[in-house]
């Protein structure tokens, strides 16, 4: 083991009392009434030395997704070809609504509509667009990992107006994903709620809910790009 010690060379208690008595008689400017009181660790029953023991054989705790990426880069270092591999990740079961032809019609009918959603190591994030009916408004995402046997909510944040006319606003939202959802076939469902002017509106994908399913996702990584990505783990 590696032992680090930190200690201070301090005078003994009698020496400190002697110096403290001499300091009380020191000259002070007219009108000066300040007092100094100092307490040392040993006077409170504490140790003046702190010892921290590190075991050289202890393994660091590294997230699994980081280890998998490092393994991929390690394979590239020994290969002269590009690497193809598969990852298990959540994939939306729907196209980006903002890219569908009826997005404007749905927004006018529901007053709130999902724009798009993305998945990453940090969880699920996305954007929603609402009709600007009043200054005060609230947007939230309601989601479930258990097919609505239990549910959670996360408040969305206002990002800014959509366009220059001010008729629509964009909100961003996000929520974490537990590790068990990275098993093949696992699903997450969610819907958006919009509260404004005392009323409540929903976008639940026309009653079907928005869902994402964990699937095998094929990736093609060029050798040069992966070699440069080492810097992200240094």
Is residue 114 in a domain?
yes
Kindly state whether residue 142 falls inside one of the protein's structural domains. yes
Listed in sequence order, the DSSP H helices in 81-212 are 103-110
DSSP code string of 120-141: ETTEEEEEEEEE---SSEEEEE
- On whether residue 20 sits in a domain, the answer given is no
Residue 151 maps to a domain = yes
Q: What is the total count of domains within the chain?
A: 1
- 227 falls within a domain: no
Query: What SS3 state is found at 164?
Result: coil
Q: Is residue 165 part of a domain?
A: yes
Asked if 119 and 91 touch (Cβ cutoff 8 Å), the reply is yes
For the entire predicted model, the pTM comes to 0.59
Q: Is the pLDDT of residue 226 over 60?
A: no
Q: Is residue 149 part of a domain?
A: yes
pLDDT over 70, % of the chain: 57
Per-residue pLDDT tens for 88-126? 788 899 999 999 999 999 999 999 999 999 988 778 999
> Domain range holding 135?
95-219
CATH of residue 130: 2.60.40.2440
Record the tokens describing residue 159, joined without a space.
């990002």
Q: Output the CA torsion 160→163→169→172 (10° steps).
A: -50
Contacts of 70 (CB under 8 A, 6+ apart): 233
Does a structural domain hold residue 33?
no
Neighbours of 104 (CB within 10 A): 13
């Amino acid at each position: 083991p590696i032992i680090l010690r930190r200690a201070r060379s301090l005078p003994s208690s009698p020496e400190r009392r002697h110096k403290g008595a001499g300091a009380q008689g020191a000259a002070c400017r007219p009108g000066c009434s300040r007092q100094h009181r100092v307490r040392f660790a040993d006077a409170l029953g504490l140790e003046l030395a702190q010892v921290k023991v590190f075991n050289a054989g202890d393994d660091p705790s590294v997230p699994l997704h980081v280890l998998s990426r490092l393994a991929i880069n390690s394979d590239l270092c020994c290969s002269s070809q590009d690497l193809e591999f598969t990852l298990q990740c959540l994939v939306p079961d729907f196209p980006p609504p903002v890219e569908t032809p009826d997005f404007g019609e749905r927004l006018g009918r529901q007053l709130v509509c999902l724009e798009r959603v993305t998945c990453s190591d940090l969880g699920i994030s996305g954007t929603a667009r609402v009709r600007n009916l009043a200054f005060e408004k609230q947007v939230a995402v309601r989601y479930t990992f258990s097919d609505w046997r239990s549910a959670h909510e996360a408040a969305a944040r206002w990002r800014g107006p959509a366009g220059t006319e001010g008729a629509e606003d964009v909100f961003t939202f996000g929520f974490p994903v537990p590790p068990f959802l990275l098993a093949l076939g696992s699903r997450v469902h969610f819907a958006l709620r919009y509260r404004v002017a005392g009323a409540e509106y929903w976008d639940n994908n026309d009653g079907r809910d928005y869902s994402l399913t964990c699937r095998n996702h094929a990736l093609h990584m060029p050798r040069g790009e992966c070699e440069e990505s080492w810097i992200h783990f240094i």
